[in-house]
Amino acid sequence: MSNTRSIPSQSHDASIVDASPWGDAEPSDFTRKPPQSREAEQAVLGALMSSSGASRRYFSETIETGITASEYYRPAHETIHRAICELHEAGEPVDPLSVAERLTQQGELTRIGGASYLHGCIEAVPTPAHGSYYAEIVRAKAYRRAAIESAERVLQYAYSEEGDEADVRSIVEQEFTAIAAGMPGLNSAPPVVGDLYLDFVEELEEIQSGRRMGLSYGMADLDQVTAGMKPGNVTVIAAQSGVGKSTLALNAAVAAAKTGAKVMFSSLEMSSTELMQKIAAAEGKIPMHHLTREGGLTAEGWQTIERLGRELFKTLPLRVYRPDGAALRDIESASRACVRDGGLDVLVVDYVQLVEVEQNRNVNREQAVAAVSRGLKNLSVQLDCHVIALSQLNDDGMMRESRAIKNDASVLIKVERPDMDEPESPRAGEVDLVIEKNRFGPTATVTAAAQLHYSRFVDMAQT
């Protein structure tokens, strides 16, 4: 949202801030107070002044909503916001003490209600993690005030009887086009296909020549069918417990990272140590049981671990995220932090049914999982990254709790091992990657080798 304007009114005049930091005045019987939320404005300022240390990322998330000082209804809040931004831009710490000092230097501290008022803002926000949510409320109120202001100008001109019909039409178009342009996502009209044609042809040439492929899953046969992992899309890897969906996803994450792609693996099931063990086993061809039992690692194994540290782990752009809770909001926040700190190309979430969303009493578990699925799809588009979402299957092979997971997927891969129920199967050691949905090609079954003692899947040609 941009170009929002506040309605000029006595309650928004900075000259009366001395009386009350809120600028509140009871409306008369013939006026209505413009849309605003004192509590949300306080909460935004409180979040900005509380986002330090481990919570620093919440400052950026709040500012990234696009909120500006002019969007606050109360002049005191506008003044505080400006001081906060000035401190941040100067590289200074942002907290109630530093903000109070900056306002004192500007001669504004008493006018906004004193240092105690800044601490009141801190107390108004439950957690700085919600700062972006409150900022959106403040922005929405500011947009409504701007809409009212535009409508009032149109009314005033129409009542004045100035100009002719063409002049009235012109001012109506001018005012309402301006207010529509301030709405998120409507700053300009979408492009027509003629404007897209040259880019389309350039991309088509790259695809046809084989130069345009998504990031590799780590298996050539799977890449050939799916065209790799592409930004803005979601791959769902679904399997029953113990089949190896986490292993397949981690193999893909490492393969992408080895090409230089920025990857974050968000694990709600395995610890960081377990993930590191799996990577070391797969990349060093070290049997997993050598890494997980006392005295299992040989001298040669230790040399391999040392080499991996020097040649792989030291430079691999792969982040492992173990959220304190299991909320979708936490995964979104960590993903945006990655974008700010170098970028994010692939996000892995292990697994969807463990992720939590804010629920009310009228939302059942299936709807909650659908909300997680939709949230991850939206995140892939917003951050222009590829999401690998793992999903648990029931014993009968059906996706647990939500068909929405399949609907939101660009590629759906079910992992099936013939030897799970039949250890003596002639196909022991094989795995079927059943591609049930594929927006970039045909559905198919890709057979790979399950080298689970090394915690990896490989093309059959590599066996």
Residue 399 belongs to a domain with what CATH number? Answer: 3.40.50.300
Classify residue 445: in a domain, yes or no.
Answer: yes
- Is the pLDDT reported for residue 10 higher than 50? no
In this prediction, residues 446-452 reach a mean pLDDT of 91
Q: Binning pLDDT at 50, 70 and 90, where does residue 193 land?
A: confident
If one compares 13 and 412, the residue with the highest pLDDT of the two is 412
Window from 210-214, 235-239, 305-309 with minimum mean pLDDT: 210-214
In this prediction, residues 370-381 reach a mean pLDDT of 88
Classify residue 302: in a domain, yes or no.
Answer: yes
What's the domain count of the chain? 2
Handedness of CA 172, 65, 335, 370 (dihedral sign): negative
- Is the pLDDT reported for residue 15 higher than 70? no
Q: Binning pLDDT at 50, 70 and 90, where does residue 55 land?
A: low
In this prediction, residues 354-361 reach a mean pLDDT of 68
Q: For residue 192, with 0-12 CB atoms within 10 Å meaning exposed, 13-18 middle and 19 or more buried, which class applies? A: exposed
Last residue of a domain, one of 134, 163, 181: 181
Q: Binning pLDDT at 50, 70 and 90, where does residue 112 land?
A: very high
If one compares 331 and 174, the residue with the highest pLDDT of the two is 331
Classify residue 337: in a domain, yes or no.
Answer: yes
* Residue-by-residue DSSP string for 73-117: SSHHHHHHHHHHHHHHHTT---SHHHHHHHHHHTT-HHHHT-HHH
If one compares 53 and 113, the residue with the highest pLDDT of the two is 113
If one compares 295 and 104, the residue with the highest pLDDT of the two is 104
Q: Are residues 248 and 117 in the same domain?
A: no
In this prediction, residues 26-44 reach a mean pLDDT of 78
Q: Are residues 102 and 234 in the same domain?
A: no
Classify residue 194: in a domain, yes or no.
Answer: no
- Is the pLDDT reported for residue 301 higher than 70? yes
pLDDT of residue 237: 93
Classify residue 191: in a domain, yes or no.
Answer: no
Window from 81-90, 109-118, 181-190, 269-278 with minimum mean pLDDT: 181-190
Q: Domain range holding 242?
A: 220-462
- Is the pLDDT reported for residue 109 higher than 90? yes
369 half-sphere exposure, CB direction, 13 A CA radius: 19
pLDDT of residue 153: 84
Spatial separation of the C-alpha atoms in residues 197 and 188, rounded to whole Å? 19
Q: Binning pLDDT at 50, 70 and 90, where does residue 23 land?
A: low
- Is the pLDDT reported for residue 280 higher than 50? yes
Q: Binning pLDDT at 50, 70 and 90, where does residue 171 land?
A: confident
Classify residue 213: in a domain, yes or no.
Answer: no
In this prediction, residues 179-205 reach a mean pLDDT of 71
- Is the pLDDT reported for residue 423 higher than 80? no
Q: Are residues 161 and 245 in the same domain?
A: no
In this prediction, residues 62-70 reach a mean pLDDT of 88
Last residue of a domain, one of 134, 157, 181: 181
pLDDT of residue 84: 94
Classify residue 133: in a domain, yes or no.
Answer: yes
Instruction: Tell me which H or E stretch contains 238.
Output: strand 234-239
pLDDT of residue 77: 96
Q: Are residues 278 and 390 in the same domain?
A: yes
Window from 1-5, 46-50, 344-348 with minimum mean pLDDT: 1-5
Which token pair is 238?
């679904």
pLDDT of residue 18: 39
Range 322-327, long-range pairs (CB < 8 A, 24+ positions): 322/266, 322/267, 322/271, 322/272, 323/266, 323/268, 325/356, 326/268, 326/354, 326/355, 326/356, 327/355, 327/356, 327/357, 327/358
The domain that holds 39 is classified in CATH as: 1.10.860.10
pLDDT of residue 54: 57
If one compares 46 and 242, the residue with the highest pLDDT of the two is 46
Q: Binning pLDDT at 50, 70 and 90, where does residue 3 land?
A: very low
The overall average pLDDT reported for the chain is 83
pLDDT of residue 210: 67
Question: Would the pTM of this model clear 0.85, i.e. be above it?
Answer: no
pLDDT of residue 365: 72
Contacts with 430 (C-beta within 8 Å, 6 or more apart), sequence order = 417, 418, 419, 447, 448, 449, 450, 460
Report helix, strand or coil for 355. coil
In this prediction, residues 360-384 reach a mean pLDDT of 80
